[in-house]
Amino acid sequence: MLSLLLKSSFLRTDMQLLRTVNTNCWFVPSTSFIHGSSVNKNSCGCGGSVPSAKAKHQIEYKSYQPLVYTCHDAKNMKLNRPMSPHLTIYAPTLPAMTSIVQRATGIVLVTYALLMAFGSLFLSNGVETYVLIIQSLDLSRPSIFLIKICLGAPFVYHYFNGIRFCMWNACKWLNIKEVYSTARMSFIATAVVTTLFALL
């Protein structure tokens, strides 16, 4: 009993606490005491000596350096990133073109409304007088047809494509196939209805 206590105390003093990265063994004896021979084996039974060189994975400590704030545009210019949206890079798609034309026709319609409002307020004669002036120009039927198409197309397109936008707000027709099919349908409906109005 006394000999076991002496051996255990001797082993505790001889144990070294080593941190190993790639093994599960933490306590590694300097020598093995089996039959009094010195065999280079660790406490887990793994062969090999205790590594004296630097570990494979090391932790390096550096002093804290505060981040320097740079604005978004300056960072993109430093990294040579293109500005967004970059229309010269991306190929035009049908949904993008319908959105751009929707906004352009909206501007045209607002211009029509402002011209009619200011004309009715500030022109000396009524609108009928200016209609008679246009009729007195004696324009040919093809010219009148083209003028009617140019004036009526923004109304018709903005109406039909606006229905698409209202349906999107209602979470309908958002499938990519439906987006493209409704875009084509709005263009076809614009052409048909505008032609019918111009023929009147």
Q: Is residue 2 part of a domain?
A: no
Residue 112 and residue 169 share a domain? yes
- For residue 167, the model assigns a pLDDT of 96
Q: Does residue 129 fall inside a structural domain?
A: yes
Whether 97 shows a pLDDT value over 80: the answer reads yes
The DSSP-derived string for 98-160 is: HHHHHHHHHHHHHHHHHHHHHHHHH-SS-HHHHHHHHHHT---HHHHHHHHHHHHHHHHHHHH
On whether both 107 and 182 belong to a single domain, the answer is yes
Range of the domain at 44: 13-60
State the average pLDDT for the chain: 77
In this structure, of 39-53, 146-160, 162-176, the range with the lowest mean pLDDT score is 39-53
More confident residue, 70 or 17: 70
- Among the ranges given (13-22, 78-87, 140-149, 165-174), the one the predictor scored with the smallest mean pLDDT: 13-22
Query: Beta-carbon neighbour count of residue 76 at 10 Å?
Result: 14
Task: Output the pLDDT for position 11.
Answer: 45
Check whether residue 44 and residue 138 sit in a common domain.
Answer: no
**Same structural domain, 42 and 99:** no
- Give residue 41's pLDDT: 44
In a domain, 87, yes or no: no
- Indicate whether 54 and 110 sit together in one domain: no
Instruction: Provide the b/e sequence for 120-152 (b: ≥16 CB within 10 Å).
Output: eeeeeeeeeeeeeeeeeeeeeeeeeeeebbeeb
Evaluate whether residue 53 is within a structural domain: yes
In a domain, 168, yes or no: yes
Domain count, the chain: 2
Residue 141 lies in a domain: yes
Res 36: pLDDT: 44
Are 27 and 122 within one domain?
no
Residue 67 belongs to a domain: no
User: Binning pLDDT at 50, 70 and 90, where does residue 55 land?
Assistant: low
Domain contains 78? no
* Pick from 34-38, 132-136, 170-174: least confident: 34-38
Does residue 51 sit in the same domain as residue 100? Answer: no
Between residues 54 and 136, which one has the greater pLDDT? Answer: 136
